[in-house]
Amino acid sequence: MKNRIPNRKAICDVLLEKAKEDKDIVVLCSDSRGSASLADFAEAYPEQFVETGIAEQDLVSIAAGLAHCGKKAFAASPACFLSTRSYEQCKVDVAYSNTNVKLIGISGGISYGALGMSHHSAQDIAAMSSVPNMRVYLPSDRFQTKKLVEELLKDEKPAYIRVGRNPVEDIYQEEDCPFEMDRATVLREGTDALLVACGEMVRPAYEAAAILEEEGIQTTVLDMYCVKPIDREAIIHAASSVKAVITVEEHAPFGGLGSMVSQIVAAECPRKVINIALPDAPVVTGTSQEVFDHYGMTAAGIAKAVKDVLSDE
């Protein structure tokens, strides 16, 4: 792997840069500044940093109180705790009260591979997406993460952003990262199958498309970093010209990207949809890569799933 910069570090870099001019940016951590790559921010701007200790509920409510008074609050905590331990605070104090809190779920999905189900966030997309007024973003690489955070700094609405712990291979480049807020990025276009992926599953989906191309199968690949509001138009447009749709996400099989894409395709342009996701069970122990390999959440596994569904048609 060439890239050594995880998406969480890309978030910190944007905040460090913007905080030079913007004294209303406040970062909050729950004893998570190291794992969130936000220690540099805490050191550079101690007056704009709030440590809540290991108290995720407090983290979110305090962020909401700060935001109510005009601060641009970024509350960072492991996604597993942020999205479930403090779920009610996210629902009531952030989404319902409509406070300008950006919830940063770090080490998302199965980043903490071997640490067990307590440390996996495979429910966060479903949980957060079902809350009115909460937006959900899973950026795919460090360049897209940077663009996303820059955009989020321009609005005053709640959002949940999930990033993984480990560096992921670049998809875009510093100078070439097409990005439109709340619009999926079309990575390639084909007429056999549509691959819709989010977060760190975009890279293997993109690689799967290259494998399939060698075998004469043409795919469209959508980087659906904006899981909510999801880009319906892009899905309908792309799905309408293919035989089958395959979704890929680092999430439980219910209530996530796959469910949302299935709903849209079923209603607007019915055709077969296959969801590649984590199982509805505690995942096997291992590094995240070992776990992905085990469940076929790799370029080869995704390519096989595409071939299987196309051969069934």
- Counting contacts by CB under 8 A, is residue 25 touching other proteins? no
Q: Which stretch binds other proteins (CB under 8 A): 54-62, 239-247, 262-270, 302-310?
A: 54-62
Give me the least distance between CB of 126 and other proteins, in Å please: 20
Give me the least distance between CB of 31 and other proteins, in Å please: 12
Give me the least distance between CB of 58 and other proteins, in Å please: 4
Q: Which stretch binds other proteins (CB under 8 A): 62-70, 155-163, 188-196, 199-207?
A: 62-70
Q: Rounded CA gap, 134 and 152, in Å?
A: 13
- Counting contacts by CB under 8 A, is residue 68 touching other proteins? yes
When binding is defined by CB under 8 A, the residue of 11, 26, 217, 273 that contacts other proteins is 26
By beta-carbon proximity to other proteins, the closer residue of 89 and 129 is 89
What's the gap between Cα 254 and its chain centre?
Answer: 16
- For residues 144 and 175, the answer to whether their CB atoms sit within 8 Å is no
Give me the least distance between CB of 92 and other proteins, in Å please: 5
When binding is defined by CB under 8 A, the residue of 17, 20, 22, 53 that contacts other proteins is 53
- Counting contacts by CB under 8 A, is residue 135 touching other proteins? no
- Among residues 223, 230, 220, which one has the least CA distance to residue 271? 220
- For residues 140 and 207, the answer to whether their CB atoms sit within 8 Å is no
Strand order in the sheet with 272-276: 185-188, 219-223, 193-197, 244-248, 272-276
When binding is defined by CB under 8 A, the residue of 1, 4, 47, 216 that contacts other proteins is 47
Strand order in the sheet with 25-29: 49-51, 25-29, 72-78, 101-106, 159-162, 135-137, 226-228
- Counting contacts by CB under 8 A, is residue 55 touching other proteins? yes
- Counting contacts by CB under 8 A, is residue 131 touching other proteins? no
Q: Rounded CA gap, 97 and 95, in Å?
A: 6
When binding is defined by CB under 8 A, the residue of 11, 19, 62, 202 that contacts other proteins is 62
Residues 100-129 that bind other proteins (CB under 8 A): none
DSSP letters, 215-277, are TT--EEEEE--EEETT-HHHHHHHHTTSSEEEEE-SS-SSSSHHHHHHHHHHHHS--EEEEE-
Q: Rounded CA gap, 217 and 57, in Å?
A: 48
Give me the least distance between CB of 307 and other proteins, in Å please: 49
Q: Encoding tokens for residue 143?
A: 């360049």
Q: Which stretch binds other proteins (CB under 8 A): 1-9, 43-51, 143-151, 231-239?
A: 43-51
- Counting contacts by CB under 8 A, is residue 69 touching other proteins? yes
- For residues 10 and 145, the answer to whether their CB atoms sit within 8 Å is yes
Q: Encoding tokens for residue 81?
A: 């705790």
x-or-dash pattern for other proteins, window 73-92, by CB under 8 A?
x--------------xx--x
Q: Rounded CA gap, 305 and 299, in Å?
A: 10
- Which residues of the shown chain bind other proteins in the complex (CB under 8 A)? 26, 47-48, 50, 52-53, 55, 57-58, 61-71, 73, 88-89, 92-93, 96-98
